[in-house]
Amino acid sequence: MAAKKVAIIGAGISGILSCKHALEKGLNPVVFEARSCVGGVWCSTIDSTRLQTPKEYFEFSDFAWPDSVAEAFPDHNQVLDYVRSYAVRFEVVPRIRFGSKVSSLDYCLSSDDDDDGGGGGGEAFSCKGKWKVVVENVLQPLQPPMVYEMDFVILCIGKFSDVPNIPDFATSSRALFNGEVLHSMNYAAMEKIQAAEFTENKRVVVVGFQKSAVDTAAEIAKNNGPKHPCTLLFRRVHWVSSEDMVKFTFRNLTRFSELMVHKPEEGLILWFLAIILSPLRWIFSKLVECYLRWIYPLNKYNMVPEHSFLKQIYSCMFMILPRDFYGRVREGSLILRKSNVVGFYEKGLVLDGGTSHLETDVVIFATGYKSDEKIAGIFSSLEFKKCITGSSAPFYRECIHPRIPQLAIIGYSESPATLFTFEMRSKWLAHFLAGKVPAASGGGDGGEREEMGGERASLQPRKLQ
């Protein structure tokens, strides 16, 4: 097994976990990491970013938070220290090749077997095909890229970095605007002092209403004060939460609350139980909404969302407001504006279908990332690109696409407590790589079938062009 070559791409939380569990199964993985640090997104966030998940739900199962972290929601430095300590403790760091950016992945069939599709027949490894991993040296860009042949690839390149999502209007009308335009990831990459100097004495508009938008706007408002207020510009209001409320919600996500939601393939009794319990779900949602309207001046600033709190939870897009967010709104250093942006003009943004204008010096797009594009972009095969972007089919065990052989993706699906789900998937994947998950066609020794819940993998890839 150790002779099999496993490449892990990315040394964020999912890459570290994949490596740790692969090592435990006696594999010999190598981790390619484009940056010079361990921890992925936690290496460069804006200064005020804190964990949004209570720390007890964002904890490695075999590595507790240190006693020195007393906060329920640690800040980004504490998260980074914790993740790095884990990587050191489980000897993941020596496996990482820093400054190594994987520019493409090419699946090649060995010439003897090129009529057989290259699939593993439900096995992780196959002698019929290998991945060619092309790696650029970021620290010495003039060096020619290296090409490695690998038996299995685990993609852990993250969802919230590298390929920014910029609205179409910005691309078409950017040239008209005399001010500066950037994405929140560029702002987050600045040092604290550099970021404060960049926005000092400037009118700044932050576009978006997700975590990075709200955090960025609050931070700029704090630095600039009411003299140069920062505007948070958004199309739709979302439910936001307080630390207490998030703790309460997490504690109530129990086996009992699970019964309130009917899930695919559950039987008639559980379906009936979910129907009977649905009023409880509704009451919970309404109570939370009332509480949030009570603690925040949502009515006063027209910030009550049109959808229910329950819908917000289902989308996994909940966020904790930065401390004193509405204090900044009250003092006038933060302006909340709901509007549809149409485009740029020379002094700022055109809003509300062209009927109003907003003058500004800087526009920061905190409008998310194109994670599909990022993952698809790494494959040289059009077939595999289509598997990522053209299909709404869920991945097997949320990590394996049945048409992409000898490859898994960790860190792609959403969850309110990502570390926990990444850990579960990494464990399962390590079992699969170790041949402990029996294939539908009868592979593997099945020795750990019980431990993994009698799992049966059916992973027949189709023939590649």
Ligand X SMILES: Cc1cc2nc3c(=O)[nH]c(=O)nc-3n(C[C@H](O)[C@H](O)[C@H](O)COP(=O)(O)OP(=O)(O)OC[C@H]3O[C@@H](n4cnc5c(N)ncnc54)[C@H](O)[C@@H]3O)c2cc1C
Measured between alpha carbons, how far is 245 from 393 in angstroms, rounded to an integer? 33
Identity of the residue numbered 129: G
Which residue blocks in 401-462 are alpha helix, DSSP H? 418-433
Q: Give the nearer residue to ligand X in terms of CB position, either 33 or 47.
A: 33
Q: Give the nearer residue to ligand X in terms of CB position, either 32 or 177.
A: 32
- Cα 129 to the center of its chain, rounded Å: 30
Among 44, 78, 161, 199, binds ligand X (CB under 6 A): 161
Map residues 99-138 to x or -, x wherever contact with ligand X holds by CB under 6 A.
--xx------------------------------------
Closest contact distance (angstroms) between CB of 11 and ligand X is 5
Among 363, 418, 438, 444, binds ligand X (CB under 6 A): 418
The region of 35-43, 168-176, 309-317, 425-433 touching ligand X under the rule CB under 6 A is 35-43
Strands (E) located in 346-405: 348-351, 356-359, 362-365
φ/ψ (deg, to 5) at 47: -60, -30
The answer to whether residue 35 forms part of the interface with ligand X (CB under 6 A) is: yes
How long, in residues, is the chain?
A: 465
Q: Give the nearer residue to ligand X in terms of CB position, either 117 or 368.
A: 368
Map residues 370-389 to x or -, x wherever contact with ligand X holds by CB under 6 A.
--------x-----------
The region of 12-20, 273-281, 300-308, 324-332 touching ligand X under the rule CB under 6 A is 12-20
Measured between alpha carbons, how far is 130 from 282 in angstroms, rounded to an integer? 51
Measured between alpha carbons, how far is 395 from 387 in angstroms, rounded to an integer? 10
The answer to whether residue 417 forms part of the interface with ligand X (CB under 6 A) is: yes
The region of 9-17, 269-277, 292-300, 453-461 touching ligand X under the rule CB under 6 A is 9-17
Paired tokens of 101: 């950016």
Among 5, 6, 8, 12, binds ligand X (CB under 6 A): 12
Closest contact distance (angstroms) between CB of 176 and ligand X is 31
Among 11, 204, 400, 404, binds ligand X (CB under 6 A): 11
The region of 34-42, 85-93, 171-179, 426-434 touching ligand X under the rule CB under 6 A is 34-42
| Angle made by CA atoms 128, 392, 32, in degrees to the nearest 5 | 50
Measured between alpha carbons, how far is 29 from 19 in angstroms, rounded to an integer? 6
Find out whether 442 and 34 touch, Cβ atoms under 8 Å.
no
The region of 8-16, 244-252, 276-284, 307-315 touching ligand X under the rule CB under 6 A is 8-16
Among 160, 291, 326, 396, binds ligand X (CB under 6 A): 160
CA distances 196 to 223, 329, 335, Å, are 7, 19, 18
- Cα 69 to the center of its chain, rounded Å: 24
The answer to whether residue 74 forms part of the interface with ligand X (CB under 6 A) is: no
Find out whether 109 and 463 touch, Cβ atoms under 8 Å.
no
Among 74, 120, 348, 411, binds ligand X (CB under 6 A): 411
Q: Give the nearer residue to ligand X in terms of CB position, either 63 or 160.
A: 160
Paired tokens of 136: 């650029």
Closest contact distance (angstroms) between CB of 417 and ligand X is 5
Q: Please give the DSSP secondary-structure letter assigned to residue 352.
A: G
Map residues 37-66 to x or -, x wherever contact with ligand X holds by CB under 6 A.
---xxx--x---x-xxx----x--------
Q: Give the nearer residue to ligand X in terms of CB position, either 51 or 230.
A: 51
Measured between alpha carbons, how far is 9 from 16 in angstroms, rounded to an integer? 10
Closest contact distance (angstroms) between CB of 346 and ligand X is 33
**Radius of gyration, alpha carbons of the chain:** 24
Measured between alpha carbons, how far is 38 from 105 in angstroms, rounded to an integer? 22
Site for ligand X in 207-226 (CB under 6 A): 211-212
Token pair 């403790």: residue: 89
Q: Give the nearer residue to ligand X in terms of CB position, either 44 or 406.
A: 44
The region of 4-12, 170-178, 240-248, 271-279 touching ligand X under the rule CB under 6 A is 4-12
Residues in binding contact with ligand X, number by CB under 6 A:
35
Among 32, 60, 384, 428, binds ligand X (CB under 6 A): 32
Query: HSE on the CB side for 422, CA within 13 Å?
Result: 29
CA distances 140 to 8, 52, 132, 447, Å, are 21, 37, 21, 46
Q: Give the nearer residue to ligand X in terms of CB position, either 26 or 141.
A: 141
- Cα 84 to the center of its chain, rounded Å: 18
The residue ranges that bind ligand X (CB under 6 A) are 9-15, 32-35, 40-42, 45, 49, 51-53, 58, 101-102, 156-158, 160-162, 211-212, 378, 411, 417-419
